[in-house]
Amino acid sequence: MTTPTDPTIIRPREQDLMGLPIRRVLPQSAARQCGPFVFLDHMGPHTLPAGQGVDVPPHPHIGLATVTWLFSGKLVHKDSLGSHQTIAPGDLNWMTAGNGIAHSERSPESERQIDSPIEGLQFWVAQPESTESGTPRFEHVAAKDLPHWQQAGADWTLVAGEWQTHRAPAEVDSPLVLLDARGQKAGQIEMEQPSKTWQWGLYVLKGELSVGQQRLDTHHLLVTGGTLLIRWEPGAHFVVFGGEPLGPRRMDWNFVATDSALIDDARQRWQNHKFDPVPGDDGYVPYPSKK
């Protein structure tokens, strides 16, 4: 996998996911991953008319954690562990797949009765080889339980991992950071690498922002193996994420693994309906045919 050390700027691919416009930020040919982060989708911003909703039926994962971080709207998460959780803006859903989990994401009934805005990010974080075949788990962290602080003219939230003196509640399997920042006034910050091999990603959701002397346009991602010097104007909203690279990963559909045999096994289990079902949701996303 491509893991750039020099700054690389990525423009997402615009796609449609079951009627919801998204931007596929990672993976891209220029950067297949950023530290342990191997996938990033930006959903919306979009307004769903009354009578419609997000409907992603049960589908499987192995070898990764899905990270859902909303800015508007609500989603109901159900999974094969029996989890049933509504996520709202500012909350965190962290689902670790391990040796296999299935889940669905749908709009709650309350959102379907109105014109409902929806926007958010979903990351996939690859698990290290030591845990990729482990027991799946699910964590929900309410907004009030995440670390929040003001620094350099911005409001910061630590969504996951550790940064400076702050530590987020969700259990992670490797060293990483996921931060949400919203500029209240013009400011700047220098973010050094915690280690020599650490990689940073910076994604701009809105507003004016630059890294060093280079402007970073809205809905663009910068990936680098160096220090970040970030400058922003009032109203800027961005996320900073990164961590230690875990080495090459194989990706096939919703599966991530160090060994193709694990992916082949997961594919066969899903096709043969051997994953545990999602209680309360009998939908099914078939494995995509390869033409």
Average per-residue pLDDT for the chain: 95
Q: Which homologous superfamily is 8-271 in?
A: Jelly Rolls (2.60.120.10)
Q: Tens digits of per-residue pLDDT, 258-288?
A: 999 999 999 999 999 999 999 999 999 999 9
- Do the Cβ atoms of 132 and 262 come closer than 8 Å? yes
Query: Which one, of 145, 223, 230, 228, lies nearest residue 182 by Cα?
Result: 230
Q: Tens digits of per-residue pLDDT, 19-57?
A: 789 999 999 988 999 999 999 999 999 999 999 999 999
Q: Tens digits of per-residue pLDDT, 234-244?
A: 999 999 999 99
pLDDT of 3 above 80: no
Structure tokens at 183: 């500029």
In angstroms, the CA 222 to CA 11 distance is 9
pLDDT confidence of residue 291: 54
**Burial class (CB within 10 angstroms; exposed 0-12, middle 13-18, buried 19+) of 177:** buried
pLDDT confidence of residue 17: 82
> What is the domain partition of the chain in residue ranges?
8-271
pLDDT confidence of residue 262: 98
- CA 176, distance to chain mean position in Å, is 13
Query: Which one, of 187, 186, 222, lies nearest residue 204 by Cα?
Result: 222
**Burial class (CB within 10 angstroms; exposed 0-12, middle 13-18, buried 19+) of 182:** middle
Q: Would you state the torsion angle of the CA atoms of residues 162, 39, 73, 152, taken in this order, to the nearest 10 degrees?
A: 40
- Do the Cβ atoms of 232 and 239 come closer than 8 Å? no
Three-state SS at 5? coil
In angstroms, the CA 59 to CA 177 distance is 27
- Do the Cβ atoms of 153 and 184 come closer than 8 Å? yes
In angstroms, the CA 283 to CA 206 distance is 35
Query: Burial letters for 220-257: b for 16+ Cβ neighbours within 10 Å, e otherwise?
Result: bbbbbbeebebbbeeebbbbbbbbbbbeebebbbbbbb
Cis, bond preceding 57 (omega within 30 deg of 0): no
In angstroms, the CA 238 to CA 259 distance is 34
The whole-model pTM stands at: 0.95
pLDDT confidence of residue 1: 41
Q: What is the DSSP letter of 143?
A: G
